Amino acid sequence: MTDDLRDRLRRAFRWTDPGPPSDYLVSDRSGWWRDPVILDGLGPALADLFRSDRPTVVVSPEVTGFLLGPLVARALGVGFVEAYRAGARRAIAEPMIWAEVPADHRGDVQQLGVRRRLLADDDRVLVVDDWAATGAQARGLRTLLGDRYLGTAAIVDECPPPVTAELTIRSLLSGADLDP
């Protein structure tokens, strides 16, 4: 089943060329969400990467994580917590836990924050994201979550192997699976 899903993910993915002045290709992941078989399979497939670690909650960074995280949470039978990017919207008028996200694949340093009341000290947190490029979001969320961090489940992981191992990133595809 997971091999079928991997094939489908490869087929539904495209690199797009934004044209000058950009000199790199941009990932187009929209075909993943448009395919009902992929949408149905992603939650359970990502959940299976960490099911034996018994997560009690899923946390994902905005914005694509808000789409994917709840699918995985549902497959695990647990709840979902949003991790907001500082400055992306109006301030949230509640006590938050913030952590710095080191420079990511765009070179941006950001802050991610979650509502404090939604996480218990003994939660076992699975981070879910569509893509791990440098591991910056995973690293920022591990800082934020501390001992509660179990690891990160991603559709694509193109981090260097030591980063993948250090941050316990597990994925359905590697960067090489999507070579242009």
Ligand X SMILES: O=P(O)(O)OC[C@H]1O[C@H](OP(=O)(O)OP(=O)(O)O)[C@H](O)[C@@H]1O
Ligand Y SMILES: Nc1ncnc2[nH]cnc12
Binding site for ligand X (CB under 6 A): 61, 63-64, 104-105, 129-137
Task: Name the binder of 137 from ligand Y, ligand X, none, CB < 5-8 A by kind.
Answer: ligand X
Tracing tokens 């991610």 back to the chain, one arrives at 112
Backbone angles phi, psi at 164, to 5 degrees: -55, -45
Strands (E), 45-109: 57-61, 79-85, 96-101
Please, what is the minimum distance in Å from the beta carbon of residue 13 to ligand X? 14
Size of the site for ligand Y (CB under 6 A): 4
CB of 126 to ligand X, least distance (A): 15
Q: Residue 102: which of 167, 180, 50 has the closest Cα?
A: 167
**Cβ(45)–Cβ(32) below 8 Å:** no
Decide whether 5 or 159 has the Cβ nearer to ligand X.
Answer: 159
x/- mask, ligand Y, residues 15-54, rule CB under 6 A, reads: ------------x---------------------------
Q: Does 13 bind ligand Y (CB under 6 A)?
A: no
Q: Determine the length of the chain.
A: 180
Binding partner of 41, given ligand X, ligand Y, none, CB within 5-8 angstroms per partner class: none
**Tokens found for residue 3:** 């091999």
Which partner, ligand X, ligand Y, none, binds residue 168 by CB below 5 to 8 Å per kind?
none
* 78 touches 148 (CB < 8 A): no
Question: Closest distance between ligand Y and the C-beta of residue 128, in Å?
Answer: 14
CA nearest neighbour of 168 among 153, 155, 179, 156: 153
Q: For binding to ligand Y (CB under 6 A), which residues are involved?
A: 27, 105, 131, 133
